[in-house]
Chains A and B, each alone.
Chain A
Amino acid sequence: MPTTPAIETSGLRKTFGGKVAVADLTLQVERGEVFGFLGPNGAGKTTSIKMLLSLTRPTGGAGRLLGRPIGDHTVRSRVGFLPENFRFHDWLTAEEFLRVHGQLYGMNPATREKRIPQLLERVGLAKHATKQLRAFSKGMKQRVGLAMAMLNQPEVVFLDEPTSGLDPVGRRMVRDVIHELRTQGTTVFLNSHLLSEVEITCDRVAFVKNGVVVKQASLKSLVDGATTVEVRVDRVTPELIERLKSLGRNVQSDPDGDRVSLSVDSDDTLPAIARMVIEQGRLLYALTPQHVSLEDLFLQIVGTEGSL
């Protein structure tokens, strides 16, 4: 696998007239990772993807896609893309549609013809291969779009709201496809509002707010780092509180109560907390880690205002 990052941008910026759509897109996506790109509506997510795919010309900054400067059209044979508002020539059948896009990718005809039925099978549309796309439901259209995004066995796939319009079965299918892509070493750049799905599928995430990447980290470090542990003992003593402060932050307790809570960086700290409670001669009734959901984190980082 090449060592250059799949995506690398520095200060990418886009303004439309006087309006700033993306102020500073600085991020790095490594090869083979599933990267979640999160932010409220109007934060500049789709414009960012469009800049990376050179659908939109950046006003400033620089970026590289698979080691090539963005705008280099040759790199696009190694890229897949499912647009947010996926529209197409709906007079084509599903099979014809994939054939045309395979031709545009410059795929070898034998490979293309072998891959089309496989992909239609994968997205659950094998029985509808010869049906015109205009007869497809929204979910079916999304599925055929996903097949198109994977047609050329890309090294990086951009999925802009891939589960939009899909029922739970379809969402599960998308999740499985993303897992498969990761297994194959494909980089996935996922823009989704469904944070529960991002939480399940992504390795790393970036939060974007008002056109600026405000935080970028691995999902594990974000979620683990935000674990709150609730400890229930027979009686909370000042000594116990002092000792717990060495293991975590935000130690809080009810002075006359039997509960104390603290934030820890990782679940690995839990046994140490249990040991300390016992060493202090206290009776341990419960030790409950409460992971903060990605949704909570999203609200903490991005805030509740500014969603358009």
Chain B
Amino acid sequence: MSGVWTIARLTFDGAVRRRVLWALLLLGGAFLALYALGLAVMRGAWEQNTYITNNPQVAETGKNFFLVAGLYAANFLIVMMTVLISIDTLAGEIGNETIQSIAVKPVRRVEIVLGKWLGFAGILAVYIALIAGGVMLLMLLFFGYVAPKPLIGIGILYLESLLLLSLTFLFGTRLSALACGAVAFGLHGVAFIGGWVGQFGTWTFSEGAQDVGRFSQIIMPTEALWRYAAAQMQPPSLGLARFASPFSGGASPGSGIVGYALAFAAIALLLAAWQFHRRDL
């Protein structure tokens, strides 16, 4: 299994030296700076508003809204980072034949897939800790606010990222890098739209729309994971306000989505390893 760690290290080091990582880190930094500026401005208005300061329930709702809105944007960056950084690791290296000098070593193909996956999982862990952790830290600094279950929330965002990573690997064993990225983003888009339709279904009590939401989360559970993560970070005291936010968990899927996503990611990764094992290089 030492081949797995060698390839994981090689992948991690390679990703760190790539421009796309630094571009997305810069973008993340810019986002956090803008978020901090927004929070600073809002805090000034907040302290002068007696309606808010006299109503703890409203204050709590507002702070949670700021946090979840920030994490919503962070989630978008995480999805981008996951796909863009891993899009060509298999597809690209198969296409340009870099993979050949690796695949002739005494290392099983499944170890190559696993090593690469672990390398990216390491990079994504750092990125998510920086971006999502940064949003939470800024809320703590400007509003002294800590969401309920912040680590569970971050953990679920990480699971969403790993699921997408596994799918990108699966598509990368058969498709070109460009097609692989298009399919991964396309599926996330389906989940996003399906999630919103389901959300509207909850607000309007439309069973049909809710079914569309449920169906889309079965096909691609990323959006459902986001809503579950958001729901974990919202206090139950928000009541109906949980449904009012465009970014929030709203009609959150049950905890079963975590198990489903874990199984989904594991099966995608296994299929990726199997496809890569079988294919000609």
Chain A positions near chain B (C-beta within 8 angstroms): 50, 53-57, 73-77, 79, 81, 83, 85-89, 91, 100-101, 103-106, 145, 148
- Of the residues A74, A75, A83, contact of B101 by C-beta under 8 Å: A83
In the assembled complex, the Cα of A54 lies from the Cα of B107 at a distance in Å of 12
**In the complex, what residues of B have CB within 8 A of residue A73's CB?**
106-108
A50 touches B96 (CB 8 A): no
B2 touches A81 (CB 8 A): no
B14 touches A85 (CB 8 A): no
Chain B positions near chain A (C-beta within 8 angstroms): 2-3, 6-7, 10, 14, 17, 96-98, 100-108, 278, 280-281
B101 touches A148 (CB 8 A): yes
B101 touches A106 (CB 8 A): no
9 tightest CB-CB pairs across the interface, nearest first?
Answer: A104-B105, A77-B106, A56-B280, A103-B6, A76-B106, A87-B98, A55-B281, A91-B17, A81-B104
**In the complex, what residues of B have CB within 8 A of residue A145's CB?**
101
B107 touches A88 (CB 8 A): no
Q: What total count of A-B pairs have CB within 8 Å? A: 65
Instruction: Specify the main secondary structure of chain B where it touches its partner.
Output: helix
A79 touches B101 (CB 8 A): no
In the assembled complex, the Cα of A161 lies from the Cα of B281 at a distance in Å of 18
Max chain B C-beta neighbours (<10 A), residue from A100, A103, A104 = A104
Max chain B C-beta neighbours (<10 A), residue from A86, A89, A105, A145 = A89
Query: Chain A's nearest CB lies how many Å from the CB of B200?
Result: 47
B10 touches A89 (CB 8 A): yes
**In the complex, what residues of A have CB within 8 A of residue B6's CB?**
100, 103-104
Query: Chain A's nearest CB lies how many Å from the CB of B208?
Result: 45
B106 touches A55 (CB 8 A): no
**In the complex, what residues of B have CB within 8 A of residue A74's CB?**
106
A57 touches B100 (CB 8 A): no
- Given A88-B98, A106-B106, the answer on whether A55 and B14 have CB atoms closer than 8 Å is no
In the assembled complex, the Cα of A53 lies from the Cα of B2 at a distance in Å of 21
In the assembled complex, the Cα of A81 lies from the Cα of B103 at a distance in Å of 11
- Given A56-B281, A89-B10, the answer on whether A103 and B2 have CB atoms closer than 8 Å is yes
Chain B residue with Cβ nearest A51: B280
